[in-house]
Structure 1
Amino acid sequence: MVDRPNKPSALAATPQQPIAQASVNIDSAAGRVTATLPTGESVDVLLHGATVISWKDASGDEKLWLSEKAILDGSKAVRGGIPLVFPVFGTAPDHAATSKLPQHGFARISKWEFLGKSTSESKQSGSSAEDTNVKLDFGLSSSSLDEKTRALWPYDFDLIYSVTLERTNLVTSIVITNKSAEAFEFEVLLHTYLRVKDINNVAVEGLEDSKYIDKVDGASTKTQSSSITITGETDRVYTPAKGPSEPVVVTEGGKKALSVVRDNFTDLVVWNPWTEKAASMADFAPKDGFKTMICVEAGSVKAFQTLEPGDAFEGAQTLYTL
């Protein structure tokens, strides 16, 4: 065998490109956590109430409505975004366990703990692009409540709230665990404010043939005959006729804009304050902001849920851009 002093060396292995990772920024001073995907989508969550205050697509378009006068310093609930309602929806003067709690309970006005992040990457079929998802976990427990709130609702519990950002959707899920020696009753709702261009061109589809409580009309029970359009103050609690996995779709100008899919939530609230109600709320701005928002809210609020000692309840919603 001839020894060739100038023989070519072995080819070097082609270096693999590093997988792009989602970035997560924790701003302790502002009390917020921001996550951004490599493709540009982002979500912003306040530790106050674990309130999602922003969700943007890759082009930077905001999907959630936030009042220009929303108070973000932790002194009161946030007007807009996705406030978390627990353990009571509205007020319940006839329900002894929650009758003395503030409107919509204490979860949205409590300081939550950021428990950490997790990310995942999955190869798209037939493409070299990477899908990167990021999940942010937040926690609230009975031990973190102040003495006044503990006195008003003296049950032991753990709440884990997860916000998962994906390229085309946002998933918000909650796990409620009863750590008391006795059962407790609760209601829970994801009070989602969606941003729209013009409420006059908006319709909500997928609730046809569904029964609802019309809170603007003396809490009378009605049945939805067609898609929902907003022409005045609207405050309705729907029990969807179709299953939770059936999308409820928000359209603008006849085009699908966004859909809501529920998981283990029995109800859906549709709300818009319109002119007079918007004018009466000090933190609602601009006053004609009702023209660019609609609330479509997944939850279980038509009746109290009973959670036995040691048991857990889990519910979620997924918001899809269309």
Structure 2
Amino acid sequence: MVERANKPKTLSSTPALPPQATVTFSDDNSRVIAELPTGERVEVLLYGATVISWKDASGDEKLWLSEAAKLDGSKAVRGGIPLVFPVFGSVPDHLKTKDLPQHGFARTSRWEFLGKSTSESLEGETTNDPSVKLDFGLSSGAPGLDPKAAAHWPYKFNLIYSVTLNRESLTTNILATNDDSQSFECHVLLHTYLRVNDITAVSVTGLGGAQYVDKVDSAKTKTQPTEGPLTITGETDRVYTPAENTVTVSEGSTEKYRVTRDKFSNVVVWNPWIDKAEGLADFAPKDGYRQMLCIEPGTVDSWQTVEAGDALAGAQTISLVG
């Protein structure tokens, strides 16, 4: 055998892989939990593919979840990030959705966990940003589909929902494909409950000059003032159509969240305040309205037509900035 002059030296040890994100199931297989090696964590209930918890590396919760929320699949979850499809609220005069549950069937069906993907930057890089993506699926004919959907939504469809956890952000992305031979109309919305410390100290920017429908005031169309941020001083339920893609939520002088939407035309801002919270059976504690604000990207001000074989997509990224 001829000896090579520059043959490679034997490695003294095998290089270790960088720490990996972990993905586990709860003991009852009702939820999927993903955790980054740096400690960030997200928990997704298969019922509704509802994100029910998102914690930063120090364990601080970023989403509000009602203490009375049903997590056993008996009803839609109050809090976290419920999925709204194919109808926002109830629309009695819309033939194809009028008999569906409020906010549709996506949040009242058991989704299938399709798998995970992870990525970590190489050792030695100036930034180390591990991430994990969880994929969930729901389709016509699936065993977990809400029976009301099968009875009242006469279309073949396929939904793919992805939840991506990064060190400083959470991204949720939904893709709705029409597998039918005819078009259908739908709404899509990500009903995100952000946790805050004190709603009276919260301000929202990125909505200045936007038109909105004020559902607390007889669905009148109004315009958000360009001067100053939006503050919450009573029951708030508004469907905005802003020009800017990012809404920023601050507490006092400190920015807390930036919610950036992609391919969604609307942002719903909701807080039930005192009287509405009292009337919601699954809203607890009753003064919990002080610790939450819903910033909900979606397309709900008009029906979106999805032609046969086409798809509708939308996403939000919630970034931590405080």
Give, in whole Å, the separation in 1 of the partners of 2:91 and 2:27.
35
Q: Percent identity?
A: 61
User: What secondary structure is seen at the aligned counterpart in 2 of 1:116?
Assistant: strand
Distance in 1 (alpha carbons) for counterparts of 2:146 and 2:299:
26
Partner residue, 2:6: none
1:275 aligns to what SS in structure 2? helix
- For the 8 Å contact 2:18–2:123, the answer to whether it is kept is no
Q: Which residue in 1 is equivalent to 2:137?
A: 139
Q: Aligned partners of 2:124 and 2:309: how far apart in 1?
A: 42
Q: Which residues of structure 1 form unaligned runs of 5+?
A: 1-9
- State the distance in 1 between where 2:281 and 2:17 align: 49
SS of residue matched to 1:131: coil
Superposed, 1:93-112 pairs within 5 Å as 93-112=92-111
Counterpart of 1:227 in structure 2 is 229
Q: Does 1:186 align with 2:186?
A: yes
Structure 1 CA distance for aligned equivalents of residues 133 and 42 of structure 2:
10
Aligned residues: 309
Deviation at 1:26, TM superposition (A): 1.4
Q: Is the 8 A contact 1:123 1:131 kept in 2?
A: no
In 2 relative to 1, CA 231–224 (structure 1 residues): closer, same or farther, beyond 3 Å?
same
Distance (Å, rounded) in 2 between the aligned partners of 1:120 and 1:14: 24
1:243-262 matches, within 5 Å, as 244=245, 247-262=246-261
Q: Quick check: 2:264–2:315 contact (8 Å CA) kept in 1?
A: yes
| Alignment partners' CA distance in 1, 2:176 and 2:243 | 26
Q: Partners of 1:104 and 1:287 in 2: how far apart?
A: 23
Q: CA RMSD in A?
A: 1.4
The SS at the match of 1:177 is strand
**TM-score, length-scaled by structure 2:** 0.93
Letter of the aligned partner of 1:17 in structure 2? A
Matches within 5 A, 1:142-291: 142-144=140-142, 145-225=145-225, 226-242=228-244, 244=245, 247-291=246-290
What TM-score, normalized by structure 1, do the two folds share? Answer: 0.93
Q: 1:12 to 1:152 in 2, by over 3 A?
A: closer
- What amino acid is aligned across from residue 143 of structure 1 in structure 2? G
Give 2:320's aligned amino acid.
T
**Deviant stretches of 4+, over 3 Å:** 10-15, 123-126
Using the alignment, how far apart are the partners of 1:78 and 1:153 within structure 2? 22
Q: State the Cα deviation string for residues 219-250 of structure 1 (Å, max 9, x = none).
A: 000110031100000000000022x3xx2100
Secondary structure of the structure 2 residue equivalent to 1:269: strand
| Distance in 2 of aligned mates of 1:168 and 1:154 | 40
- For residues 28-56 of structure 1, the C-alpha deviation after alignment (integer angstroms, 9 at most, x for no partner) is 61500000000000000000000000000
Per the TM alignment, residue 97 of structure 1 is displaced from its structure 2 partner at its CA by: 1.0
- Equivalent-residue separation in structure 1 for 2:214 and 2:283 (angstroms): 23
Looking at structure 2, the residues matched to 236 and 146 of structure 1 have their Cα atoms a distance apart, in angstroms, of 28
Note the residue ranges of structure 2 that are not aligned, 5 or more in a row.
1-8
Separation (CA, whole Å) in 1 of partners of 2:202 and 2:86: 31
Q: Which amino acid aligns with 2:130?
A: T
**How far apart, CA to CA, are the structure 2 residues paired with 1:143 and 1:27?**
26
Pairwise CA distance, 1:150: 1.3
The whole-number CA distance in structure 1 between the counterparts of 2:234 and 2:204 is: 15
Once the 2 structures are TM-superposed, how far is the Cα of residue 146 of structure 1 from its aligned partner? 4.9
SS, match of residue 306 in structure 1: strand
The whole-number CA distance in structure 2 between the counterparts of 1:134 and 1:96 is: 40
